[in-house]
Chains A and B, each alone.
Chain A
Amino acid sequence: MATINATMSLGSADILSQPIHLTAAMTLYKGGTTATGLEQMHYHRAIIPTGTNFDLIPESDALKDNSNYVYIANKNTDVTHYVTISINTEVIGSLYAGDWLFMPWSCDLSAAANDSSIELEAFVASNTIEYALFHVGETLVTHTDA
């Protein structure tokens, strides 16, 4: 097993009348366990063109353990550039240049195909995206070469 830690610091000195500062730390475990860490990952960088809503992280049978974690960052620098992140018919939100997200992800194969895939669409211009998936398994494709 591997040990993967995710920590976050969230703070502002002036959004409230008093400073606010939150910290959170977690270890990424397999679902239903107390000490068995996730041990597989993907870490990608991609340039996403505009005009198409892509399956960034497709659902698959090997991922359906419901204990996957996703990090996505928009590496563009023009503040008007953004991507939308959605699952099924729901747009979760927009990642503008410099934004990131981190969330658990339930790969659910019980509904229609691709219903739980994480989708991404770029707007205004191509957006450079970095994303990591810490996961429980991967469906490998059997070769079809002669």
Chain B
Amino acid sequence: MATTTATITLGSHDISDSNISITNLNYLNTAGTDTGISKTTGLTRVTTSATANVVLLDSSATGGLQVAANATDIDKGKVFIQNLNERGDGSKYVTVLLTAVEIGRLYGGDWMFIPWDGGDGNDVEITPSSTTDTTLEYILFYQ
């Protein structure tokens, strides 16, 4: 097993009269155990100018991830995605989708970290808002 940690800090000095600071450290373990996740896609960097859906993580029956997970659901994957573009004028973003359901928008500089249950067809996809080159980095940890 491997030991992988993810730590988040959310903070603000001026959203309220008192400082807000939320910190959380998470050990990435397999589902329902304290055994560390031992598989990862590794870090991937991609640049695209497409404005159609782009599949980042292919969870189809023929997708490499399901093969790697012995043709079963990936089950308790963890996905990190970051939009490395500059924020610019704040009008450009990528929409992150799970299959056809929009999750949210990553503007330049934004990142996200979510659990991902995978399963046949539950791809993680992005749709850039413009033809401007968009550079993303992402990594999946899975069991």
Contact = CB atoms under 8 A, between A and B. Distances in A.
Chain A facing B: main interface SS:
strand
B26 interface: yes
Chain B facing A: main interface SS:
strand
Interface residues on A, range: 35 or more
A40 to B, nearest CB: 8
Contacts of B93: 31
B82 A24 contact: yes
A47 interface: no
A79 B12 contact: no
Contact of B38 (A4, A15, A116): A15
A19 B28 CA distance: 15
Nearest to B119: A91
Contacts, number: 189
Interface stretch (B3-11, B46-54, B64-72): B3-11
A73 interface: yes
Contact of A8 (B6, B15, B91): B6
A43 B18 CA distance: 13
A12 B103 contact: no
Interface residues on B, range: 35 or more
Contacts of A100: 6, 8, 24, 26, 113
Nearest to B98: A90
B4 A92 contact: no
Interface string B104-118: 111101111111110
A144 B17 CA distance: 31
Given A16-B42, A34-B87, A94-B115, A79 B8 contact: no
Given A34-B89, A100-B26, A29 B107 contact: yes
A6 interface: yes
Interface in B86-143: 87-91, 93, 95-96, 98-99, 101-107, 109-117, 122, 139, 141
Interface of B: 2-16, 20, 22, 24, 26-27, 29, 31-34, 36-40, 42-43, 76-78, 80, 82, 87-91, 93, 95-96, 98-99, 101-107, 109-117, 122, 139, 141
What are the 8 closest A-B residue pairs judged by CB atoms, nearest first?
A93-B115, A104-B104, A15-B2, A12-B4, A2-B15, A103-B112, A24-B111, A90-B101
